[in-house]
Amino acid sequence: MDFPTRAVHAGQQPDATTGAVIPPIVLSSTFAQETPGVHKGFEYSRTGNPTRQRLETALASLDGGRYGLAFASGNAAAGVVLKVLSPGDHVVAGSDLYGGTYRIFEQVLRRYGIDFSYANPNDSAAFAPQNNTRLIWVETPTNPLIQVSDISAIARQKGAALLVVDNTFASSYLQNPLELGADIVLYSSTKYLGGHSDIVGGALVCSDEAVYERLKFFQNAVGAVPSAFDCWLLQRSLKTLHLRMESHCDNAEAVAAFLQAHPKVERVYYPGISDHPGHAVAKRQMRRFGGMVSFELAGDLNAFFRALNLFTLAESLGGVESLACHPASMTHASIPAEVRLKNGVKDNLIRLSVGVESATDLVDDLDQALSRAP
């Protein structure tokens, strides 16, 4: 079945008891057992819940995977993946990555004897594993410089290491890392999968049964699972993912073209631009180029942010409404300034999550805000 059909129907069979086209939310925390250990597939909602199971079925289907796991946040999902590591293990990750991920790596796990190194996202060979490399961690497109890594090229050299791809910026509609050789796909489902800025969630998708069983064990043991209501909201949102992503992409292309031509913009980061370093790779491994655009402003940042009307200054991304973010002081503030600057995240960088409003209105809003940024 094609993606739109799976988005609407995967995990959404009518309720067997009532015939309800939309299955009911199961809020029960515990489930009756006929005799000790004998039950109808559910015993306790941390371990498994019918509403979460339907969502996990849908998540797996949309990424072309066999298994899906839902979590209370993207960081919770990342934390479960990282629990496969032991002291002495090594992780190689792209140098341009979400500040929260860097914080887990450097401020939480490094003190447990786990080593991390960072590779240029545009250089596939730089991700080559060492003898003790257990995970290769790839964001593509990256946060916040919208760089593109070649998943297939990295997968070909991964050896025994697990290749984890944070697919949050692309979504399962635009990119399917499992088909390109990844072992685990990670999402902050708060973003495009949720799409309405009203839930916080995370997700993992994989196809290897042994990998799934390990991750499932940690999901249950750690317990960072979403509520049944949040699972229901997220599955509802997945049904329109393909429609929303097409609109996000249309608008981002218009915004990027406008910014490229503006005299107060020093540089635009968007893989849909033909001279973007990752344009060819993005064209090959993505359906379209996404809804995230970053740019460097030659003007007063605070004046620009204050003048915006439709773009809201806020963290997060992927909602139907457009957001503007200053990575250096917001999403990436946990990364030391010298590290940010070394990786190219300048203090005048602005990250836009381009929503689904009228492209003309969004361009007009940026135009008037730039005019007020001396």
| Domain boundaries defined on the chain | 3-238, 241-371
Residue range 241-371, CATH number:
3.90.1150.10
Q: What confidence score (pLDDT) does residue 39 get?
A: 86
Annotation says 275 is catalytic: no
Distance CA 81, CA 217 (A): 11
Burial of 240 (0-12, 13-18, 19+ CB in 10 A): middle
Distance CA 352, CA 204 (A): 25
What residues of the chain score a pLDDT lower than 70? none
Alpha carbon dihedral 245, 247, 249, 255, in 10-degree steps, equals -140
Q: What confidence score (pLDDT) does residue 225 get?
A: 97
Annotation says 269 is catalytic: no
Rg over alpha carbons for the chain, rounded to the nearest Å, is 21
Distance CA 236, CA 29 (A): 22
Q: What confidence score (pLDDT) does residue 66 get?
A: 98
Annotation says 340 is catalytic: no
Q: What confidence score (pLDDT) does residue 37 get?
A: 81
CB 51 within 8 A of CB 232: yes
Q: What confidence score (pLDDT) does residue 59 get?
A: 98
- Which member of 6, 52, 134, 191 is catalytic? 191
Q: What confidence score (pLDDT) does residue 20 get?
A: 92
Summary count for the chain: helices (H), strands (E) = 13, 12
The strand pair at 162-166 and 184-187 is best described as parallel
Cβ partners under 8 Å of residue 153, min gap 6: 124
One fold for 3-238 and 241-371: no
Q: How many CB atoms lie within 10 A of CB 337?
A: 12
Q: Is the pTM of this model over 0.85?
A: yes
Q: What confidence score (pLDDT) does residue 253 get?
A: 98
Annotation says 98 is catalytic: yes
Q: Which CATH class for the 3-238 domain?
A: alpha beta
- Which member of 67, 98, 187, 192 is catalytic? 98
Q: What confidence score (pLDDT) does residue 27 get?
A: 95
- Which member of 63, 89, 150, 166 is catalytic? 166
Which stretches of 5-140 are assigned E, i.e. beta strand? 67-71, 90-94, 115-119, 133-139
Token pair, residue 39, equals: 């039950």
Token pair, residue 248, equals: 């996000």
